[in-house]
Structure 1
Amino acid sequence: MSAEDLEQMNQYLTFKLDEEVFALEIAKVREVLDFTDVTKVPQTPIFMRGVINLRGSVVPVVDMRVKFSMREAEATVNTCIIITEVVMDGEPSVLGALVDSVQEVLELDPDQIEPPPRIGTKLDTEFIRGMGKHNDEFIIILDIDRVFSADEISLIQQNSDATKA
């Protein structure tokens, strides 16, 4: 592994949902887009906003607020779609994550990251890679591959494939 690979592993793209700060490994992020029109797809999960055309490819867009049981919000000038690559069942899938705003790329050393909190057996925190600390603020570091269940990814892929046809 090169020094650049090691450096990238410690870099995270931070974004906001409501007043909370979240982060994704920079290696999982392909690009960040300004909010654009999203084509609704019938009979999809409530958190799926629809699909966008990304240079000829159909990309499903997920509203991260709704996915995390937050109230839905109107789009603003800061609303963005983070294009990310999710691996499910060994297959990479491109997915758009609708967020309130993108903040910055941060470098966090391993000693700035604590394991995810244990919140009892009823709450699933498998999708949280860790809790980063930066400027006296907690950052929830997501494992984007675990944010969505296999069934949800399968449903998203099916709807994306149906839209292509």
Structure 2
Amino acid sequence: MESSTLDYLKKESDRELLRKRAKKMALQTSLENSASENVAGGSDYVFFRLGPDVYGLETSIVKEVMIPEDIVAVPCTPDFHLGVLSVRGHLWAVIDMCKFLGIREGLEFENPGVVMLSGGESEFCIAVDEILGVSRIPEGELKALPKGDGRISEYSLGVTDDRKIVLDGKAFLQDESLIVNEFVGSDV
């Protein structure tokens, strides 16, 4: 009986030693990562295509990207609302950014990809023609987008040298014109 107790205590001390080592290694790794981020500077963005143009959104507000099987239309919504999408039992509104920003009539493909945005209490998906991936933009590389008559300049953080337009996702999440909060029916 005594040997099994000693074995247990030895195993517990070994586990504690391993936990401490793992914490130390994790701390070192996180310090190395933050140091390399500071050296490299810049931020990561999810890039996607809307027609011929490439756009990006900061990864800090992107919850997920996917190609959904079905987007269900919702009647009595503005034309830039494509409908809703169910992801793991949660309904997400899907916005057609082409129509919302006035870029063109709509998406090129019938089965678009979606970028799920989430921040604070607001969350929704934007439909895109193609999801391109994640890239880092070095600090200071973004140039101001010329002010035009389109809505795109309202939501732009800037444009890269290779003509990728970086959008302000936080501005989209805070824009109340994207929220449909109307009830159809009679007051009783």
* Alignment TM class, shorter chain as reference: 0.7 to 0.9
**Contact 1:13 / 1:106 at 8 angstroms: preserved in 2?**
yes
Q: Give unmatched runs, 5+ long, in structure 1.
A: none
**What is the Cα deviation at residue 85 of structure 1?**
1.3
Inter-partner Cα distance in structure 2 for 1:100 and 1:116: 22
Q: Who is 1:32 aligned against?
A: 65
Asked if the contact 1:16–1:103 (Cα under 8 Å) also holds between the matched residues in 2, the reply is yes
Give the Cα separation in 1 of the matches to 2:85 and 2:73.
Answer: 9
98-107 vs 63-72, which moves further: 63-72
| Contact 1:9/1:26 (8 A) holds in 2 | no
The SS at the match of 2:147 is: coil
CA distance in 2, matches of 1:12, 1:151: 24
Give 5+ residue unaligned stretches, structure 2. Answer: 1-30
Q: Evaluate the alpha carbon distance shift between residue 118 and residue 8 of structure 1 in structure 2; reply closer, same or farther with a 3 A threshold.
A: same
Q: Which residue of 2 aligns with 1:67?
A: 100
* Counterpart residue number, 2:158: 130
**Cα shift readout 1:65-102 (whole Å, capped 9, x = no counterpart):** 2222212245356x31111114xxxx422211100001
Aligned to 2:171: 146
Hey, what's the Cα distance between the residues in 2 that align with 1:109 and 1:103?
18
Identity %: 22
Higher strand share goes to which structure? 1
| Mapped contact 1:8–1:26 kept (Cα < 8 A) | no
1:110 aligns with 2:110: no
Cα offset, 1:47, TM superposition: 0.4
When residues 75 and 35 of structure 1 are mapped into structure 2, their CA distance, relative to the original with a 3 A threshold, is farther
Shift of 1:42: 1.2
Structure whose residues are more often helix by fraction: 2
CA distance in 2, matches of 1:14, 1:153: 21
Q: 1:58 aligns with which of 88, 91, 98?
A: 91
SS in 2 for 1:114: coil
Q: Is the 8 A contact 1:47 1:63 kept in 2?
A: yes
In 2: Cα distance, 1:10 partner to 1:33 partner: 22
Please name the residue that 2:52 is paired with. 19
| 2:179 match: secondary structure | helix
Q: Which of 60, 65, 81 is the matching residue for 1:48?
A: 81
Which entry has the higher C-alpha Rg, 1 or 2?
Answer: 2
Kept in 1: contact 2:42–2:138 (CA 8 A): no
After TM superposition, the score normalised by the length of structure 1 is: 0.76
Closer/same/farther in 2, CA of residues 9 and 26 from structure 1, 3 Å limit: farther
Conservation of the 8 A alpha-carbon contact between 2:122 and 2:173: no
Query: Which amino acid in the other structure matches residue 65 of structure 2?
Result: V
Number of matched residues? 148
Q: TM-score, normalised by structure 2?
A: 0.68
Between the aligned partners of 2:178 and 2:99, the Cα distance in structure 1 is: 16
Task: Say whether the 8 Å CA contact 1:16–1:102 is kept in structure 2.
Answer: yes
1:112 alignment partner, SS class:
coil
